[in-house]
């Protein structure tokens, strides 16, 4: 039997195990950096199949190794995230979350299940490839500083450095049975902005005695949008949004200060650093020019995510072989963030999407909502395709 056929047969043969694993993880979600039971479950599964691993790494992380023939020849890495979100699940299903207020609403249960499945397949086929597969189960994707950054600090991309890394994420916009790819810039860097504008409050009827922080803030918000429209290159997607303004005065009271919070997202690290300086300077100068002051605090989030064109083309070609060209779609830019981006600035990376939608069965909810769910027919694809992409990287040509 050809290797591709063997992968598909194993993925189909273990479908019930994949579903059971996913349902177990879904029913027992844990918040970021608290994935203790999840980690124990992963370790128990890996042990039962005879796959060696190192744990704990970065708290609750696990790094497994599957050695093929000539294991030093090349290392290729596969990554899954393990954490859930602080959301109360609203689905009425047998595998509903047993931890009230915690839910796998971003599909990380699916990612963990897929990587476990891929590991089992690759372990079974370990005589068919040269080199090694590194299995990275990381904590805390949903919470800064991001488990990926901690895993990298602990050396998961060293000794030796992998030739490439692949991660997959569920996508409820894409029907189950399909997957999506995009080369180059794919997801955004995300920074949080916390701005306090200080003036001098007083009676609203006597503006000459006050320094009005509400008006200063209004000017700052309008002016900062010029950073996006006049300073950012049109070739680099950039978004600035303020979603929170607190000016707690009254119809006849000017407050002492105003607080605003927003998000800045883009897809170029040099521009991101430059934009931080420009925004801060512009806000401070406007406040100063109007007699007030401005504290402009930027909490840096994840970097932007760059899919290596070569690796992404190869992974896409592997997906076409596995699923047929009609089931491999092109992805749009996505201005959300993902900590897989940290890996993408270290080694050749490909982050692709696993379709999980089923309109007929009403499985359409977005990630991060209380009704998010998946069509479980995506599970054998999630496991099998990941294994196949790794095999294509490590096959002897
Ligand atoms: Zn998420
Ligand atoms: Zn996610």
pLDDT at 343: 98
Residue 7 sits in the same domain as residue 147: yes
Q: What angle do CA 68, 74, 80 make, to 5 degrees?
A: 80
Helix (H) or strand (E) holding 378: helix 378-394
Taking the centre of ligand 2 as the mean of its atom positions, its distance from the CA of residue 44, in whole angstroms, is: 24
Residue 218 sits in the same domain as residue 320: no
Q: What angle do CA 190, 191, 196 make, to 5 degrees?
A: 150
pLDDT at 34: 98
Taking the centre of ligand 1 as the mean of its atom positions, its distance from the CA of residue 363, in whole angstroms, is: 17
Residue 74 sits in the same domain as residue 176: yes
pLDDT at 397: 67
Of the listed ligands, the closest to the CA of 190 is 1
> How many domains does the chain contain in total?
2
- With H, G, I as helix, E, B as strand and everything else as coil, classify residue 338: coil
Taking the centre of ligand 1 as the mean of its atom positions, its distance from the CA of residue 170, in whole angstroms, is: 10
Residue 116 sits in the same domain as residue 78: yes
Of the listed ligands, the closest to the CA of 86 is 1
Helix (H) or strand (E) holding 127: none
The residue among 371, 328, 336 whose CA lies nearest residue 353 is 328
The residues pairing with 246 across neighbouring beta strands, listed in sequence order, are: 259
CATH of residue 73: 3.40.630.10
Residue 109 sits in the same domain as residue 145: yes
Task: Single out the residue in 249, 268, 300 at which a domain terminates.
Answer: 300
Task: Single out the residue in 239, 266, 300 at which a domain terminates.
Answer: 300
Taking the centre of ligand 2 as the mean of its atom positions, its distance from the CA of residue 143, in whole angstroms, is: 11
The residues pairing with 192 across neighbouring beta strands, listed in sequence order, are: 263, 299
Residue 205 sits in the same domain as residue 124: no
Residue 319 sits in the same domain as residue 183: yes
- With H, G, I as helix, E, B as strand and everything else as coil, classify residue 372: coil
Taking the centre of ligand 1 as the mean of its atom positions, its distance from the CA of residue 141, in whole angstroms, is: 7
- State the Cα–Cα distance between residues 302 and 143, nearest whole angstrom: 10
Please identify every residue whose CB atom is under 5 Å from ligand 2, which is an ion. 106
CATH of residue 196: 3.30.70.360
pLDDT at 1: 78
CA dihedral 224, 230, 236, 240 (to 10 degrees): 20
Task: Single out the residue in 300, 328, 350 at which a domain terminates.
Answer: 300
Q: What angle do CA 142, 31, 302 make, to 5 degrees?
A: 15
pLDDT at 396: 73
Q: Copy the structure tokens of residue 354.
A: 């696993």
Q: Copy the structure tokens of residue 316.
A: 């896409």
* pLDDT tens track, the chain, 397 positions: 799 999 999 999 999 999 999 999 999 999 999 999 999 999 999 999 999 999 999 999 999 999 999 999 999 999 999 999 999 999 999 999 999 999 999 999 999 999 999 999 999 999 999 999 999 999 999 999 999 999 999 999 999 999 999 999 999 999 999 999 999 999 999 999 999 999 999 999 999 999 999 999 999 999 999 999 999 999 999 999 999 999 999 999 999 999 999 999 999 999 999 999 999 999 999 999 999 999 999 999 999 999 999 999 999 999 999 999 999 999 999 999 999 999 999 999 999 999 999 999 999 999 999 999 999 999 999 999 999 999 999 987 6
Contact 257, 205 (CB under 8 A): no
Taking the centre of ligand 2 as the mean of its atom positions, its distance from the CA of residue 218, in whole angstroms, is: 35
Residue 249 sits in the same domain as residue 202: yes
Residue with tokens 């203790």: 36
Taking the centre of ligand 2 as the mean of its atom positions, its distance from the CA of residue 240, in whole angstroms, is: 22
Helix (H) or strand (E) holding 153: helix 147-153
Residue 280 sits in the same domain as residue 222: yes
Tally helices (H) and strands (E) across the chain.
Answer: 10, 16
- State the Cα–Cα distance between residues 302 and 145, nearest whole angstrom: 8
DSSP states of 181-217 as a string? E--EEEE-EEEEEEEEEE-B-EETT-GGG-B-HHHHH
Q: Residue 80 sits in which domain range?
A: 3-187+304-394
Residue 249 sits in the same domain as residue 170: no
């Amino acid at each position: 039997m050809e290797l591709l056929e063997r992968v598909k047969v194993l993925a189909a043969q273990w479908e019930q195990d994949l579903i059971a694993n996913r349902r177990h993880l879904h029913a027992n979600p844990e918040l970021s950096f608290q994935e203790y039971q999840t980690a124990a479950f992963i370790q128990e599964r890996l042990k039962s199949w005879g796959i060696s691993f190192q744990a704990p790494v970065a708290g609750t992380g696990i790094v497994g190794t599957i050695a093929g023939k000539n294991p030093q020849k090349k290392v290729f890495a596969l990554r899954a995230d393990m954490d859930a979100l602080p959301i109360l699940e609203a689905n009425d299903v047998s595998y509903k979350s047993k931890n009230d207020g915690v839910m796998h609403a971003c599909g990380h249960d699916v990612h963990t299940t897929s990587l476990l499945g891929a590991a089992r397949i690759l372990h079974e086929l370990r005589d068919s490839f040269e080199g090694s597969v590194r299995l990275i189960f990381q904590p805390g994707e949903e919470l800064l500083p991001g488990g990926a950054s901690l895993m990298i600090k602990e050396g998961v991309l060293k000794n030796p450095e992998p030739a490439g890394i692949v991660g997959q994420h569920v996508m409820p916009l894409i029907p189950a049975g399909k997957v999506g790819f995009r080369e180059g810039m794919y997801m955004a860097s995300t920074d949080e902005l916390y701005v306090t504008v200080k003036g001098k409050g007083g009676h609203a009827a006597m503006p000459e005695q006050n320094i009005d922080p509400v008006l200063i803030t209004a000017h700052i918000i309008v002016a900062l949008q010029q950073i996006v429209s006049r300073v950012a290159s049109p070739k680099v997607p950039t978004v600035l949004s303020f979603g929170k303004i607190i000016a707690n005065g009254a119809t006849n009271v000017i407050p002492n200060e105003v607080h605003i919070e927003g998000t800045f997202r883009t897809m170029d690290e040099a521009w991101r650093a430059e934009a931080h300086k420009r925004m801060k300077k512009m806000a401070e100068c406007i406040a100063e020019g109007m007699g007030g002051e401005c504290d402009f605090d930027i909490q840096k989030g994840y970097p932007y995510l760059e899919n290596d064109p070569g690796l992404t083309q190869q992974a896409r070609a592997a997906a076409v072989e596995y699923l047929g060209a009609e089931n491999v779609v092109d992805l749009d830019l996505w201005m959300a963030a993902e900590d897989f981006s940290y890996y993408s600035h270290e080694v050749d990376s490909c982050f692709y999407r696993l379709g999980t939608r089923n309109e007929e069965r009403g499985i359409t909810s977005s990630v991060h909502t209380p009704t998010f769910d998946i069509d479980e027919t995506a599970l054998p694809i999630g496991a099998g395709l990941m294994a196949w992409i790794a095999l294509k990287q490590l096959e002897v040509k």
